[in-house]
Chains A and B, each alone.
Chain A
Amino acid sequence: MAMNDHNAEMSAGGEPKGGPKFDRGHPLSIFVKDRNEDMSALLFAFLIAMSGIIFFK
């Protein structure tokens, strides 16, 4: 299975039956497209790390 197809399948709900479905075609799908999801995760982690350093140092 090509990687992109796999991403698409994962993004569409991850599992064949019973799992939640999601329209992966939306241009703002930050939670779906892998690179965007990664960037969001990096941003969140960076904010948590910075807040930790500022408030707990």
Chain B
Amino acid sequence: MIYTKKSPALLIIGFLMLVWGGLNANGQLDGLQATLQKSAHSDHVKVNEKYTAELRVATEMAQSEGKPAPEMKKPESKFDHAKALQTKFGYFFGGVFALLGLFILVWKPTKGNLDYYISTVPGMAFILIIACVVRWGLDPMFTNWGKAVKDAGILTWDFAKIFNLNYVVLGIVLGIIIVNVFKIPEWAANGVRSARLFLKTGVILLGTLYSAAELAQLGIMSVALIGVFVLGSVGLVLFMGRRMKCPNTMTGVLSAGLGVCGVSATVAASPVVQAKAGEIAYTIGTILLWGVGCMFLFPTVGHLLGMGPVQFGAWAGTGILNSAQVAGSALAFDPNGIETLKVAEIFNITRVLFLPIIVLWLAAWFVKHEQGAEKVNLGQVLVAKFPLFVLGFIAMFALSSTGAFAPPGHYQGKYFSSSEVKEDKLLKPKEVRALEGEVSKMRNPAETKALQDLIANRKMMTRDQGETLKSVAKIAGLDAVAAGAIANADKAATHDSKIIKNFRDWLAWLFAFGLIGLGMQITTAAIKQAGGKPLIIGSVVGTLKAVGSLVVVLMFVKEFV
């Protein structure tokens, strides 16, 4: 069988990407880019103004001393960097696709390896160009709209953030629209099939973002509380799914989504249980709708029950399914304080760190149940059928925990290090004086010690002191310069691993690519096939989790957090 279809599509895609790269390089898209990347562009303008002013001063000084005008290197802003990246990307992929597109048009394919592999390229290029539209166009566009609608006072919340209208969800939605409205073109079919490969690669890399040391820092009781709810929810969904005779693929992916934390867990678990594209979409839809409902309900219930910031943070971080909605709910409950948000995020992070355990559990569960017989030797079946990429995910998690990519205590590449604070980031004398004037306002010896250490060293010395001083910064009546100094010192001691930042970029592309491909396999028939059972399971487990965690938080949280 010959797989490669004769079509000019790849050549056209290559040409379009080359044009995009060229227009970016010549600055002809600067207006569009400035609209899309608003904050990066405003930083870019500031950087340029600063550079121009410094250059003018230096030139004037040089002229007054009779020296030649100095050469100053123009600093690269985030905006410049993004444009340069799009240019390189456009030239590289555009060039490759255009050449291969020409080759496909003139080549007479014969049965064999070359035909097989070439046949996948047009589909991959098709997904890639859509991924570019999503990552560089739709994602920032929705972010801007969300902010604009909020700033205009039409909504009190950012709809793009709350409904997760980022490249993950937008990619799936666009894929769904394409397959249901236009169908997948024949020349792209083989490439679209490769989407799952890239999704799996993304899941393996996801392991690099977490570390066991971060889990250890969170405190035994919060880990125990979250552990009970995460594992309990997963167990309950698996039990109910089996009882209600849902397909194992659907039950598996739903359990991860409801148990761990929404969309990323769903994506990570989907290849483990071989979930169909429709089932993934169904799970994500259930989680997002449920999460949005909780986001509005939780703050009201919290206020009615007179919950404190720590209690509410713990409840939201345990009971709400998706990260963005946890943050939204915590901010809705306590818009001015950071205490609720901080506690909610700690609980949320703890939950995400259970992902490796859940992935392993689901892999073993799925292999056992899909074989459909208790008589089979589980060990043998696991060896024969266990998804190998899960081992890759676990290996990356282990490597990340040993500090191979960033210091062991990092979370998603961010870590605290006092020794890496640069000289120019140390507190200025004015800030130190402002802090010295506030020592008497400290409420306990720990706060006093933390502030004295900060003054003595002009930088944050430990992560715990950083946390203590961040709550100090919220003391009413504290000098604004002192509060700003604390924020600056904390920022200076928080670093972002370059390696993991690079992995995060890769992850974004791999997931965008994989999810657009998955979206292209979600037909209306597939959604109908999933039926109403998963929604029932989702509602029951979601309610039990929300109510159960509320009871436990009200009973115990005051004592130990």
Contact = CB atoms under 8 A, between A and B. Distances in A.
Interface residues of B, number: 60
B281 to A, nearest CB: 11
A49 B389 contact: no
Contacts of B193: 11, 13, 20, 22, 31-32
B194 interface: yes
B385 interface: yes
Contact of A41 (B197, B371, B502, B525): B197
A17 B388 contact: no
A2 B405 CA distance: 40
Interface in B468-520: 498-503, 506, 520
B242 to A, nearest CB: 14
Residues of A in contact with B, size category? 35 or more
Contact of A15 (B200, B247, B522): B522
B189 A31 contact: no
Given A15-B526, A39-B388, A40-B197, A7 B503 contact: no
Contacts of A22: 189-190, 193
A6 B370 contact: yes
A20 B195 CA distance: 12
Contacts of B166: none
Nearest to B189: A20
Nearest to B194: A31
Given A14-B521, A41-B201, A3 B189 contact: no
A27 B221 CA distance: 52
Contact of A56 (B190, B198, B203, B502): B502
Contacts of B183: 18
Contacts of A41: 197-198, 200-201, 203-204, 389, 392
A53 B205 CA distance: 13
B277 A15 contact: yes
Given A20-B184, A37-B197, A53-B404, A15 B498 contact: no
Given A6-B274, A18-B180, A53-B499, A45 B520 contact: no
Nearest to A35: B388
Contacts of B399: 49
Contacts of A56: 498-499, 501-502
Contacts of A21: 189
A18 B179 contact: yes
A40 B392 CA distance: 11
Given A38-B200, A38-B387, A41-B201, A18 B523 contact: yes
A13 B498 CA distance: 38
A28 B205 contact: no
A23 B120 CA distance: 13
A45 B201 contact: yes
A49 B370 contact: no
Given A15-B276, A15-B525, A18-B525, A31 B197 contact: yes
A14 B392 contact: no
A13 B521 contact: yes
A49 B276 contact: no
B372 A2 contact: yes
A53 B208 CA distance: 12
Contacts of B208: 49
Interface in B147-192: 179-180, 183-184, 188-190, 192
List the 5 closest A-B pairs by CB distance, nearest first: A20-B189, A41-B200, A45-B204, A38-B388, A18-B523
Interface of A: 1-3, 6-7, 10-11, 13-23, 26, 28-32, 34-35, 37-42, 44-46, 48-49, 52-53, 55-57
14 contacts: A2-B372, A6-B370, A14-B526, A15-B525, A19-B277, A21-B189, A26-B116, A31-B197, A37-B200, A41-B197, A42-B388, A49-B208, A52-B506, A55-B502
Given A29-B116, A42-B389, 15 more contacts: A1-B247, A14-B521, A14-B526, A15-B278, A16-B523, A19-B520, A20-B188, A22-B190, A30-B197, A38-B389, A42-B388, A42-B392, A45-B389, A45-B392, A52-B405
